[in-house]
Structure 1
């Protein structure tokens, strides 16, 4: 087990990538703290994780609300005594439209959740992660390293998130906290179906199937890895010295 005894916080943890990362992390020995705007949607997942031997805390939290974020972090530390890993996963898609037609209210909502929310969660986790020498993992996108037409605020938010991840890597290096961004690529989620309604989901991997890179970044094996952008579909577990 690569995450034995670690405590991982996952925002947007009730479904999709967040839920599958919770499953994988528990399989690897971690305890998880999940936040969701509608925590009742995570009740079955929490039952599943506990039945599998993991400890799971589910907290209702709007990541755009600084007080609610602080309460989630405090509840996690009170429950588990530490935080080793943060997965900044909470995200919304918004409109697929050219800028000339993009609704300003939708723009604000997407930036608020995807970028400001990630900032608030990361900021609140700095102290406990510094105590543990922990890892921040920020969920980016294939549109996170360039400007793709008609992706609007989602594209802008993910570009901003990658810059935030690099800033955190530099600012927190002396505290022993790592910060990396991951482009998960195509995966079978509700958000993917909204973005590509004509796509056959059978040809797209599940989030669980691309979860190795997240386990790696959460583990002690990635102790020297920070300020990077990794692509989940290209990831291969590094060979350890002496491995065949």
Structure 2
């Protein structure tokens, strides 16, 4: 039954790239959904769309900058004109802010991150609300486990993601009367190519192996490993599906037990 969780549903995913966005598209398609892919880089969209189609799914690519009102409206128009409905919106797009301590952080990077991650997510949700209300659909915000700690240099990132969570909870309350659910997924470290590269850089800096960096990081979690992209994506699929029909305003941590909520 799990393979049909999103059968005949239309799912829009923003911020599609080679990492989590790709996995969300593939898992949604595997669950029966038609997937609309949105991001600024068209070549990435086409690559992921080809993978979706290779497993028998249907994909529509719409290059879009979610900080641009006209681009978002075009995304809505293309989606509704092509498929006639929208059942779920996954706001995955984000911009990484300054990784400096807050006492000497870069304000412009914070503004840019808030514009993309928070206001971009709001712009997308506002634009798709009429279609989502008609379908009694779902919004899933991709947040981060950065909310669960206060480690040095993550202050700007936590500020942005905390604002995203506050907005998501308020949207859940405001859109509930329309039958639209709004939830958040908080991944931990995700074992993607980008993280593998980063661990390699750390290993080189400290004269150890990337495997040792992984083991030291994973040891902090109950399962002693890091989540795979598909595992995070499956949590998104669940919240987007009718199996989560009574769940709204909630956060689902996917971090192999590194933090308990």
Q: TM-score scaled to structure 2, two decimals?
A: 0.83
Give 1:1-244 correspondences, 5 Å limit: 1-144=4-147, 148-189=151-192, 192=195, 197-198=201-202, 200=210, 204-233=226-255
- Cα distance, 1:42 vs structure 2: 2.0
- Cα distance, 1:149 vs structure 2: 3.6
Name the CA distance, whole Å, in 1 between partners of 2:193 and 2:159: 21
Tell which structure's C-alpha radius of gyration is larger.
Answer: 2
- Cα distance, 1:166 vs structure 2: 0.5
User: What whole-Å deviation, never above 9, does each CA across 1:179-213 have from its counterpart, x for those lacking one?
Assistant: 00110111023664687652747653321133321
Name the CA distance, whole Å, in 1 between partners of 2:115 and 2:23: 24
Are the aligned partners of 1:180 and 1:228 in contact in 2 as well (CA < 8 Å)? Answer: yes
Name the CA distance, whole Å, in 1 between partners of 2:101 and 2:87: 40
Are the aligned partners of 2:227 and 2:254 in contact in 1 as well (CA < 8 Å)? Answer: no
Name the CA distance, whole Å, in 2 between partners of 1:189 and 1:157: 22
Unaligned segments of structure 1, at least 5 residues? 236-244
- Cα distance, 1:95 vs structure 2: 2.2
Are the aligned partners of 1:13 and 1:19 in contact in 2 as well (CA < 8 Å)? Answer: yes
Unaligned segments of structure 2, at least 5 residues? 204-209, 215-224
Counterparts in 2 of 1:194 and 1:98: CA distance versus 1, 3 Å: farther
Are the aligned partners of 2:188 and 2:227 in contact in 1 as well (CA < 8 Å)? Answer: no
Count of aligned pairs? 235
Name the CA distance, whole Å, in 2 between partners of 1:145 and 1:209: 19
Counterparts in 2 of 1:230 and 1:205: CA distance versus 1, 3 Å: closer
- Cα distance, 1:77 vs structure 2: 0.8
Higher helix share: 2
Name the CA distance, whole Å, in 2 between partners of 1:194 and 1:154: 20
Counterparts in 2 of 1:38 and 1:75: CA distance versus 1, 3 Å: same
Alignment root-mean-square deviation, CA: 2.1
